[in-house]
Structure formats: C-alpha cells, structure tokens
Homo-oligomer: A and B are copies of this chain.
C-alpha cells in the first residue's frame, strides 16, 4: 500500500501568518500523497463581532445559528481555504480546496442531542473515498475546510479534528495512513508545563499504565481515545505534535506517536 499523510492544523497556526506560511512550505515539501484539514481560527469570531453577530453559547457550548453559519462558510471555505491553496501553489504543490459539500466528499447530518440544539453543526456520516483517491492519484494535495452538508442543501459547521479522523479512517482501506494532529505543545507531555517531557510513543499497554498512574493530563484523554479509535479502524499511526516540527514528526523524531500495539 502507498502512504498517505492526513494532517490537521488548528487556529494556533491559521491565525499566525508567519507560522502558517512556514508550515505550508513544509507541507508542500512532503513527498507523496497528502491531505490537509484546517480548522477555523479567530477570523470568523472577529468577522462576527464586526458584523454584530453575537456568539451564542449554551451550557458552555458554541451554537452555530444561521448568521454564524454564513460567516464560517465564508471564512473557512472561502478566505482560509483559498489562501492556503494559493500559498501551496506558490510552493509548487498542486492543491485543491474542498468543503465536504464539494463532490459529496463528506456527508453529514445536523447534530441530534437530547438537550442542546447546537444549530447548524454537522456530525460526519460518510467520506467519499472515490473522488479523494482520484485527486490524490493525480498528485493533487487536498485541503479540506470544516464545512459539510446534509444532502438536502443544508451546509453544516463541522469539527476539523473529526473530519481529519474520519477521512483518515475511510482512506485507510486504500492507503497506509499517518494521521497527524498539530498541537500547541510538542506532543503528549508527562508534565504539561515542560515541553521536554514528551512521551515518544504510546501503545494500548503503555496508555493503560499512564492512565492508571494518572500521568496524563485529563484533557488529553479524549484526544488519545480518538487516536486509538482511528488506529482500530485501520489508520497506521497517529502522531500528535507541533506543526513547526512537521518533518521531524513525520520522521518519528518529534511528537508523540500512538501505535496500535
């Protein structure tokens, strides 16, 4: 099987022009097939404030109302996605920017929750591997924006971590997939305040031990649980690390690599 790298970057990279530009140069230099999934960053929040659209929160959860959906569609699928694509082209990396609606790449449904109405938030149902494979086989890097649709014309705001995970899982039937979550820290740390305490590898046995000894920061547990879910669905490696260290991460010289066994 050929290799594929799926990399998710978040707001800490997207909001910093210099960091984003350096990251995209590194991403462009990766040989072989690759997918970049980007989150949103602060631009949408800033635009909402400028337009007087108030951010609605219920029980600490952000709600995507109709006005917010318009804003995130413009910012994520328009501004951020097209700027990333243009920068990749400038770095001689042919790239195509897609939302989940494009080519029906990611089908989703509006989130159903017993007590909270999240508004126009999507949960992923299915990733269309046929089109993604066709693009990757043409040596085009795919840049996914965290906007999906429900098949009935409704666009939905969707978590970028989930899109990265579902895309990696779906494509692991075709490729040997590495899933990389870029992160503010250098990886999973023994001491959350000390970047030098990166745990180099975690497998199910060591994960159990780390949890039992309470050596892992509680906030990391859902992320690691998701990583193991991805590994159990066919993804080869999940790596958590700093976007600034992309090449070292992919070589196994930085970040935390989570392995199936």
Which residues on A are within 8 Å of B, measured CB to CB? 50-51, 70, 73-79, 81-83, 85-87, 89-90, 94-99, 101-104, 130-131, 134-135, 138, 140, 147, 149, 151-155
Answer whether A89 and B131 are a contact pair too, CB < 8 Å, given A74-B75, A78-B76, A94-B103: no
Which residue in chain B gives the minimum CB-CB distance to A137? B134
Answer whether A151 and B101 are a contact pair too, CB < 8 Å, given A78-B73, A78-B76, A78-B79: no
> CB < 8 Å: which of B70, B74, B76, B151 contacts A89?
B151
Which residue in chain B gives the minimum CB-CB distance to A87? B153
Instruction: Give complex CA distance A227, B73 in Å.
Output: 35
Which residues of B lie under 8 Å from residue A95 when comparing CB positions? 102-103
Which residue in chain B gives the minimum CB-CB distance to A51? B50
A38 → B minimal CB distance (Å): 13
> CB < 8 Å: which of B73, B90, B104 contacts A151?
B90
Instruction: Give complex CA distance A151, B92 in Å.
Output: 8
B140 close to A103 (CB less than 8 A)? yes
Which residues of B lie under 8 Å from residue A75 when comparing CB positions? 74, 78
Which residues of B lie under 8 Å from residue A154 when comparing CB positions? 86
Instruction: Give complex CA distance A154, B134 in Å.
Output: 27
Interface CB pairs A-B, < 8 A, 9: A74-B75, A74-B79, A75-B78, A82-B155, A86-B154, A97-B102, A103-B135, A103-B140, A131-B138
Instruction: Give complex CA distance A148, B260 in Å.
Output: 43
B102 close to A153 (CB less than 8 A)? no
Which residue in chain B gives the minimum CB-CB distance to A91? B153
> CB < 8 Å: which of B76, B89, B101 contacts A97?
B101
Which residues of B lie under 8 Å from residue A89 when comparing CB positions? 101, 104, 149, 151, 153
A105 → B minimal CB distance (Å): 8
Instruction: Give complex CA distance A130, B140 in Å.
Output: 12
| Most chain B C-beta atoms within 10 Å of own C-beta, residue among A73, A75, A95 | A73
